[in-house]
Amino acid sequence: MKKEHTTPTMKDVAREAGVALGTVSKVVNGLPVGESYRQRVEAAIERLNYQVNSYAQGLKASRTYTVALLIPNTRTPFFADLVYQINLALLKKKYRMLLCCTDYQSGAEQEYITMAQQNKVDGIIGLTYNPHLVIEPNTPFVSIDRSLGPQIPCVASDNFAGGQMAAEKLADLGCRNVAFLRIGSSLTNEPNKRKAGFENGCLARNLSYTMKILEDGDSLEEFRSFLSDHTHQGKLDLDGFFCVTDRLAYQIIRMLKDMGVRVPEEAQVIGYDGARILGEEDYLCSTIVQPTREIAQMCVELLLQEAMAVRPPLVCLPVSYAYGGTTKEG
């Protein structure tokens, strides 16, 4: 279905309703907006006879056999592995991949969405931190780690189960007093569920726990203060840590070593992601491993699957625990 020039676009709807483009995007993708805005947008949609085309129709237009991937960078091992696995999954289906490293900047992302709307690419897989992304409802888009509305499938590891697994593992390994440490984007996204899963696991096991949550831009040194606040008479009163990423685990382990705390003898640390040294050697730390290959395959499957009338809004894929030297068992 090629778009005709007379067909109204989301921009037309925004102009007609007198609201921002982002508001229209939210309404058509089923995200929450103020009720009065919703009514204005819906009225404008009706007046203009704006068609919320189905995903499948979008994809059926002239094929380019090209899919764009939006990802912050390829240096972070989790992203590097995703890029690699998505590339292989696409090549297997004879699709090419346009790569766009967003560097956590929003500029380029919208441009690729426009390309998809103009059928210059067949679809987009995106791991994006842009809260202002405007996605026309007929744009084939699969999101990783962050829900962009019920019309756009989101694929993630089972972050809740991963958090719970970390708590249970620490309990199994004899911890009595643990902490959850987090730094990162304050956007609502799937990885945020690691915290709730961890709490749930602690409660199920009667494991005493505390939390320290920093936002992007906060100084990591606040974790150092947190650790010394929990040190009494030269002894740390925490014996287990679940860190929201392997990167944070790496940084916390360094702080613990600086303080003379032996890892894993005195404090055990579990990270999240499953980063390996040099991409394929040992795990950097004990960790909850994200199933990157399965995430990649699922993204490609959902993006290219035309036959599917109803697509799942959120797919959570199972994680696993891997020993990496910072917990007690071998």
- Residues forming contacts to its own copies in the complex (CB under 8 A) are 66, 69, 73-77, 80-81, 83-84, 87-88, 91, 96-101, 103, 108, 246-247, 250-251, 275, 277-281, 284
Of 89 and 202, which has the nearer Cβ to its own copies?
89
Pick the closer one to its own copies by CB: 9 or 74: 74
Min dist. Cβ of residue 242 to its own copies (A): 18
Using an 8 Å Cβ cutoff, are 68 and 127 in contact? Answer: no
In angstroms, what is the minimal distance from the CB of 76 to its own copies? 5
Whichever of 204 and 277 has its CB closer to its own copies, that residue is 277
Nearest to its own copies of 9, 251 (CB atom): 251
Residue number, 83 or 300, with CB nearest to its own copies: 83
Smallest separation (angstroms) from its own copies to the CB of 296: 11
Residue type, position 306, single letter: E
Taking the complex as a whole, how short is the minimal distance between the CB of residue 83 and its own copies, in angstroms? 5
Shortest spacing between CB 253 and its own copies, in angstroms:
11
d(CA 28, CA 252): 43
Task: Write out the two tokens for 140.
Answer: 């084939």
